[in-house]
């Protein structure tokens, strides 16, 4: 079968690999019908060293169940399922807390031996991980349903962990697909003022349609000053940080209101950061966030897509066949596309 | 009048200074009847450089109102009041949020021109800051009431910001007076399991009386391993960090459960700290805390002391007159005393 491998920075190829086989009775194998490229796939695209064996790519998928292990009870062959970017048993103590990305039997498709930018995918802990979409669902809804695999629910996770609620003022840092998803999620959770910090107008225009009430194109100290000006000098109750680089973090603690919260879902490209008296502590600011616990939100989100409450699939502005996925990486890296849907 | 000044590390003296005078119509002047030495006073005691003009010391006080400015309406001369370690107008946008330590007209007695280890104290924003104790209150309750000026309500702030609640497992790092106060506060908020990390038995014994269910004397990796063992490998829902040094922070993220919260009230003696994937982010852990918003909790806490629900004044194990305050610093620095009450 065909799968996407990355061999080093900038070198993405579709190659022939062995089809996955069931390894454990809790596994399922799906034929991938929708996949996509994630902003986080661009990190190795920028800095992966020589990897002669290749790294399997992709962690977002919708597909049709082809085979199930003997222990799988909630899925049937032929079901169309959404697969979150992390697998989880959905029964352990952490999963019961909703912390599915810390499942004791869990893992991430990123860097795993089977990944989603491929014709077929091995899904571990299939009962806990994959969620079926009702049979007969309109194909036009599939892009939005695919965003429940990661990008929309990552934005939603930021908003949930940040306690976005009616009456709160929210700033979203980053106008990538996760940032725009965070805008949509903040609006869903009742935020009145949503300030989107980003400077690519085609993206911030979609952000306005998703619910942003203000757009701040300035960055750094100028961006901080602008947000403070918009909030009467007080700062915002919640910052949703959807970038992961240090300047975004610095912007975040500059604009957060005393007692407010910074919720990060951009995977931090740093380990140490300011958290002392002059950044977080003096303001009684809260820092939260982490890998999105997508699985914990899936059942509630699917009906919202099916009934048209949300249309997060609008972040996809291009579609390419699997064979042309290298072009998808290039388009996103060059910011010629916001997010590319892949059809294996 | 007499006041305590520090001239350099280890050099604390009681000297004669001018009495404070009303500067603003919102000021009050109180005659200090109870003060004390705070663990945070030991930071300059360890590292203050030569300060020929001297630094006024002390930020915890109970006293009797001697004079009030023309704009003061809620206090009368003769009232006995508790003065929190920070002043605040209690009316600005941040105060209305409960963030009194970020009051736009606020400040900290630490480093101010008038401080509490003295015979008299200038209280700015007196209406917003000082809270009267009912006339005729038993003198025996004054030590516990004094802890509402800082130490007990700082422990309480840690527990509130950390969302301590029934059913949660809590660890408190630090067996100083703030740590022990955090134990008492966690118990008040319904925590079932309270693990106190500290190794001074006379202190941890008081911690057990305050509600600690377990004591872990080990530190560093051993301490982390011990707490994980006590929690079935899962970690604690809430860590109350009452130290402020990096090893305590490292211990905190080592023992926090996925999705859990680290609440800091030990003033961080560092600015940068690990917050990336391997410390906070990967666990979806939350970092919160800051200067205690004592003023926001005072009205509710006073009746709890008056009716005997809490007895946080047990952290005082010595009493000295103001003239002997240098000895109080020495006793606390040498850990011969937990916390010393000062009678000006």
One-character DSSP codes across B153-174: HHHHHHHHHTT--TT-EEEEE-
Name chain B contacts of A94, Cβ cutoff 8 Å. Answer: 234, 257-259
φ/ψ (deg, to 5) at B166? -55, 140
On whether any CB of chain B is under 8 Å from the CB of A331, the answer is no
Note whether A276 contacts B270, CB cutoff 8 Å. yes
Yes or no: say if B137 and B80 are a contact pair by the CB < 8 Å rule: yes
Give the predicted TM-score (pTM) of the model: 0.97
User: Cβ of A16 under 8 Å from any chain B Cβ?
Assistant: no
Tell me how close the Cα of B282 comes to any Cα of chain A, in angstroms: 6
- Which residues from chain A sit within 8 angstroms of residue B258, using beta carbons? 94, 97, 99, 101-102
Q: How many CB pairs (< 8 A) connect A and B?
A: 126
Q: What is the pLDDT of residue A112?
A: 86
What pLDDT is attached to residue A266? 87
**How close is the nearest chain B Cα to the Cα of A162, in Å?**
10
| Measured torsion, CA atoms of residues A132, A136, A140, A143, in degrees rounded to the nearest 10 | 10
DSSP string for residues in B308-325: TS--GGGG--EEEEGGGH
Which residues partner with B214 through β-bridges?
B195
Q: Which two tokens stand for residue B330?
A: 């020495």
Nearest residue on chain A to B98, alpha-carbon basis:
A259
CB-based contact, B108 to chain A, within 8 Å? no
Distance from chain centroid for Cα B220: 25
| Residue ranges of domains in chain B, CATH in brackets | 2-150+293-343 (3.90.180.10), 153-289 (3.40.50.720)
| A118 to A42, A46, A75, A330, A332: CA distances (angstroms) | 17, 21, 21, 18, 19
Q: Is the Cβ of A101 closer than 8 Å to some Cβ of chain B?
A: yes
Beta strands in B80-186 (DSSP E): 80-83, 86-87, 107-108, 120-123, 131-133, 169-173
Of the candidates A64, A66, A74, the one whose C-alpha atom is nearest the C-alpha of residue A22 is A66
A288/B93 Cβ within 8 A: no
A242-263 burial, b at 16+ Cβ within 10 Å, e below that, comes to bbbeeebbbbbbbbbbbbbbbb
| Res A174: pLDDT | 97
Considering only CB atoms, A273 lies closest to which of B101, B272, B284, namely B272
The whole-angstrom separation of Cα A158 and Cα A184 is 11
- Please tell me which residue of chain A has the smallest CA distance to B274: A272
Q: Residue B268: its chain A contacts at CB < 8 A?
A: 275-277, 281
Measured CA distances, A250 to A232, A254, B94 (Å): 20, 6, 22
* Phi, psi for residue B341 in degrees, rounded to 5: -85, 140
**Is any Cβ of chain A less than 8 angstroms from the Cβ of B290?**
yes
Neighbour count for residue A306 (Cβ, 10 Å):
15
pLDDT in tens, B3-26: 999 999 999 999 999 999 999 999
Quote the tokens at residue B205.
């014994």
Nearest CA in chain A to B282: A290
Q: Which residue of B has its CA nearest to A270?
A: B276
Of A94, A161, A277, the CB nearest to B258: A94
Q: What is the pLDDT of residue B266?
A: 87
With CA atoms as reference, the chain B residue closest to A98 would be B259
* Listed residue (A151, A157, A174, A153) closest to A36, CA to CA: A151
pLDDT at B111: 80
The dihedral through the CA atoms of A229, A235, A239, A243 has a sign that is: positive
Distance (Å, rounded) from C-alpha A116 to C-alpha A139? 19
* Residue range B271-311, pLDDT digits in tens: 999 999 999 999 999 999 999 999 999 999 999 999 999 99
Q: Which pair of tokens denotes residue A78?
A: 């032929």
Nearest neighbour of B97 by CB, restricted to A97, A98, A259: A259
Best A259, A269, A282, A294 residue to mutate vs chain B (most B CBs within 10 Å): A259
- With an 8 Å Cβ cutoff, is B54 touching chain A? no
Taking only residues 139 to 198 of chain A, the set having a beta carbon closer than 8 angstroms to any beta carbon of chain B reads 161
Residue B234, chain A, CB below 8 Å: the answer is: yes
Q: What are phi and psi of A187, to 5 degrees?
A: -65, -45
What pLDDT is attached to residue B110? 86
Q: Report the pLDDT value the prediction gives residue B167, as an integer from 0 to 100.
A: 93
CB contact under 8 A, A290 and B293: no
Is A98 in the B-facing interface, judged by CB distances under 8 Å?
Answer: yes
Of A92, A252, A222, A285, which is closest to residue B286 (Cα–Cα)? A285
| Residue B277 to residue A267, Cβ atoms within 8 A | yes
- The set of residues, in sequence order, having a beta carbon less than 8 Å from that of A43 and lying 6+ positions away, is A267, A269
The pLDDT score that the predictor gives to residue B102 is: 97
Tell me which residue has tokens 């897509």: A305
So what's the pLDDT on residue A11?
98
Distance of CA B289 to the CA centre of its chain: 13
Distance CA B315, CA B180 (A): 8
A293: contact with B, CB 8 A cutoff: yes
Chain B residues whose CB is inside 8 A of the A282 CB are: 102, 290-291
Q: Identify the bridge partners of residue B170 per DSSP, sorted by sequence position.
A: B194, B238
Nearest to B272 by CA among A274, A50, A263: A274
Distance CA B341, CA B344 (A): 10
CB contact under 8 A, A276 and B273: yes
Chain A residues in contact with B278 (beta carbon < 8 A): 271
Judged on CB neighbours under 10 Å (0-12, 13-18, 19+), B46 is exposed
In the three-class reduction of DSSP (H, G, I as helix; E, B as strand; rest coil), residue B100 is classed as: helix
Angle, in degrees to the nearest 10, between helices A246-255 and A220-230: 30
Residue with token string 């039997």: A105
- Closest partner CB to B102 (pick from A258, A286, A287): A258
Confirm if B238 and B210 have CB atoms less than 8 A apart: no
Q: Chain B closest CA to A324's CA: distance in Å?
A: 32
Per-residue pLDDT of chain A (344 residues; tens, 9 = 90+): 999 999 999 999 999 999 999 999 999 999 999 999 999 999 999 999 999 999 999 999 999 999 999 999 999 999 999 999 999 999 999 999 999 999 999 999 987 889 999 999 999 999 999 999 999 999 999 999 999 999 999 999 999 999 999 999 999 999 999 999 999 999 999 999 999 999 999 999 999 999 999 999 999 999 999 999 999 999 999 999 999 999 999 999 999 999 999 999 988 999 999 999 999 999 999 999 999 999 999 999 999 999 999 999 999 999 999 999 999 999 999 999 999 999 99
Check if B111 contacts A (Cβ < 8 Å): no
A281 touches chain B (CB under 8 A): yes
All residues of chain B having their beta carbon less than 8 Å from the beta carbon of residue A258 are 94, 97, 99, 101-102
Q: Nearest to residue A258, comparing CAs of B93, B148, B153? A: B93
**Are A271 and B279 an interchain contact pair (Cβ–Cβ within 8 Å)?**
yes
Cβ B271–A277 below 8 Å, yes or no?
A: yes
3-state secondary structure of A186: helix
User: Do B290 and A281 count as a contact with CB atoms less than 8 A apart?
Assistant: yes
Contact A161 B293 (CB under 8 A): no
Residue B240: phi, psi to the nearest 5? -105, 115
User: What stretches in chain B show pLDDT beneath 50?
Assistant: none
> How many C-beta atoms surround the C-beta of residue B208 within 10 A?
14
Distance between A245 CA and the closest CA of chain B, angstroms: 11
- Comparing CA positions, the residue from B192, B172, B190, B195 lying closest to residue B182 is B172
């Amino acid at each position: 079968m065909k799968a996407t491998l990355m061999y080093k920075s900038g070198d993405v190829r579709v190659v022939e690999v062995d089809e996955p086989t069931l390894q454990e009775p809790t596994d399922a194998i799906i034929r991938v019908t929708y996949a996509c490229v994630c902003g986080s796939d661009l990190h190795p695209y920028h800095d992966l060293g020589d990897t002669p064996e290749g790294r399997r790519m992709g962690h977002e998928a919708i597909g049709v169940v082809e085979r199930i292990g003997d222990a799988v009870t909630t899925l049937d062959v032929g079901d169309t399922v959404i697969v979150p970017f992390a697998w989880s048993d959905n029964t352990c103590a952490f999963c019961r807390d909703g912390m599915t990305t810390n499942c004791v039997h869990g893992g991430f498709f990123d860097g795993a031996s089977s990944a989603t930018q491929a014709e077929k995918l091995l899904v571990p802990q299939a009962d806990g991980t994959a969620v079926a979409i009702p049979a007969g669902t309109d194909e036009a809804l599939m892009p939005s349903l695919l965003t429940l695999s990661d990008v929309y629910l990552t934005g939603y996770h930021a908003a949930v962990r940040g306690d976005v609620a009616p009456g709160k003022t929210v700033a979203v840092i980053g106008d990538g697909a996760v940032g725009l998803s965070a805008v949509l999620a903040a609006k869903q959770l009742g935020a009145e003022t949503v300030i989107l910090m980003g400077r690519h107008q085609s993206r911030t225009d979609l952000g306005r349609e998703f619910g942003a009430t203000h757009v701040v194109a300035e960055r750094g100290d100028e961006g901080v000053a602008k947000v403070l000006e918009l909030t009467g000098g007080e700062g915002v109750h919640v910052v949703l940080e959807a970038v992961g680089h240090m300047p975004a973090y610095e912007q975040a603690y500059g604009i957060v209101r005393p007692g407010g919260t910074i919720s990060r879902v951009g995977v931090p490209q740093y380990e140490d950061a300011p958290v002392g008296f002059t950044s977080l502590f003096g303001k009684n600011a809260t820092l939260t966030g982490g890998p999105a616990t997508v699985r914990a939100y899936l059942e509630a989100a699917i009906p919202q897509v099916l009934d048209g409450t949300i249309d997060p699939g609008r972040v996809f502005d291009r579609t390419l066949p699997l064979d042309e996925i290298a072009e998808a990486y290039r388009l996103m890296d060059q910011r010629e596309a916001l997010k590319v849907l892949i059809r294996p």
